[in-house]
């Protein structure tokens, strides 16, 4: 694997391969000193044109646990503010001896464009409303860990689906692994064309909740909304917010997920986010191990002398 641009590029077998490798890195992360020399001598750079807490710090932790060197790039203190183009910025960073660039950008397609300019591996850490493949990998891994697998499971993705790159990747990851997906949102928060999406659609959250194994709530992305898609946040919360009363409608075994950051009291109530059904912190925790697996697959393959003793080496 040279790049990770889309969850569609992996398919079920590729997702399962990442999950199997993640098992090894979960074990590494549980050690007193959670660090292995798997990527010693390799360098990973972050090219984040949008703010991020979870994804960026998760990738940084993953790279450091693999002993990779890291190069940080901050748009706010860079030559981008002097008019430097994306191409020039990316080529400049690559010229510093970087082996992989992890990129987040507000425009869909930027990671694909970078692969035309760079020799380094490119990881899509979120492009516009389009894709967020490592989020889909950590979400499917968390569900495999908690439910034993996704085959035959039914998952509701709830809220601002139109502006969510997480929804775009998760629909394809969940269905590739055998789950049914139902999108629950007002018509104004759904993509204009869902013909290519293998999903059901509902506008009635209360009717859907008793039928699902997972309630996956999404953040209301007010910064990406060019018009008012709902009359008010209060109205949205009234109809689509996952309150404690609504969470009680879920089957006893059902889980609650959210990719973060959360708008507590809007799409999810605080007592649900912190409640016993919630696996939100498991998602964050697993994100580091999943990203270790992704970076290792991109940069560690073909270097068996540096594979992780007792973990990755065990894969043969």
End-to-end Cα spacing for the chain: 17
- Spatial CA neighbour of 268 closest among 244, 248, 250: 244
CA atoms in the 13 A half-sphere facing the CB of 97: 6
| CA–CA separation, 211 and 155 (whole Å) | 9
Residue 230 is predicted with a pLDDT of: 77
Interacting residues of 39 by C-beta distance below 8 A, sequence separation 6+: 63, 66, 67, 68, 295, 296, 299, 300, 306
Task: Tell me the average pLDDT across 219-235.
Answer: 74
| CA–CA separation, 85 and 186 (whole Å) | 38
Interacting residues of 66 by C-beta distance below 8 A, sequence separation 6+: 35, 36, 38, 39, 42, 292, 295, 296, 300
- pLDDT digit string (tens) for 64-114? 999 999 998 777 666 677 778 999 999 999 999 999 999 999 999 999 999
- Spatial CA neighbour of 59 closest among 8, 113, 104: 104
- pLDDT digit string (tens) for 252-267? 999 999 999 999 999 9
Q: Percent of the chain, pLDDT > 70? A: 91
**Where residue 306 falls among pLDDT bands split at 50, 70, 90?**
very low
**Where residue 222 falls among pLDDT bands split at 50, 70, 90?**
low
Q: How far is CA 226 from the centre of its chain?
A: 24
Residue 220 is predicted with a pLDDT of: 87
Residue 311 is predicted with a pLDDT of: 47
Report whether pLDDT(3) > 50: yes
**Where residue 310 falls among pLDDT bands split at 50, 70, 90?**
very low
Task: Tell me the average pLDDT across 294-298.
Answer: 97
Residue 313 is predicted with a pLDDT of: 47
Residue 52 is predicted with a pLDDT of: 86
């Amino acid at each position: 694997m040279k790049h990770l641009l889309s969850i569609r590029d992996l398919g079920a077998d590729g997702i399962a391969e990442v999950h199997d490798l993640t098992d090894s890195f979960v074990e590494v992360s549980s050690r007193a000193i959670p660090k292995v020399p798997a990527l010693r001598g390799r360098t990973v750079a972050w090219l984040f044109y949008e703010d991020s807490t979870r994804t960026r710090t998760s990738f940084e932790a993953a790279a450091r646990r693999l002993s990779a060197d890291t190069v940080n790039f901050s748009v706010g203190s860079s030559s981008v503010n002097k008019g430097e183009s994306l191409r020039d910025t990316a080529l400049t960073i690559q010229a510093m001896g970087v082996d992989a660039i992890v990129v987040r950008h507000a425009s869909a397609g930027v990671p694909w464009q970078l692969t035309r300019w760079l020799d380094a591996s490119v990881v899509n850490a979120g492009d516009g409303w389009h894709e967020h493949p490592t989020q889909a990998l950590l979400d499917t891994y968390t569900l495999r860990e908690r439910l034993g697998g996704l085959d035959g499971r039914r998952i509701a993705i709830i809220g601002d689906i139109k502006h969510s790159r997480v929804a775009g990747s998760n629909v394809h990851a969940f269905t590739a692994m055998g789950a049914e997906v139902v999108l629950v949102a007002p018509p104004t928060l759904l993509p204009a064309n869902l013909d290519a999406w293998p999903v059901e659609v509902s506008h009635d959250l209360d009717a859907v909740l008793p039928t699902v194994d997972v309630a996956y709530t999404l953040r209301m992305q007010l910064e990406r909304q060019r018009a008012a898609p709902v009359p008010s946040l209060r109205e949205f919360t009234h109809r689509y917010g996952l309150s404690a009363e609504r969470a009680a409608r879920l089957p006893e075994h059902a889980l609650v997920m959210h990719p973060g950051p959360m708008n507590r009291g809007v799409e999810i109530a605080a007592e649900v986010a912190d409640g016993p059904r919630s696996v939100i912190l498991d998602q964050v925790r697993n994100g580091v191990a999943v990203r270790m697996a992704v970076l290792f697959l991109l940069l560690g393959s073909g270097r068996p002398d540096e594979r992780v003793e007792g973990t990755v080496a065990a894969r043969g």
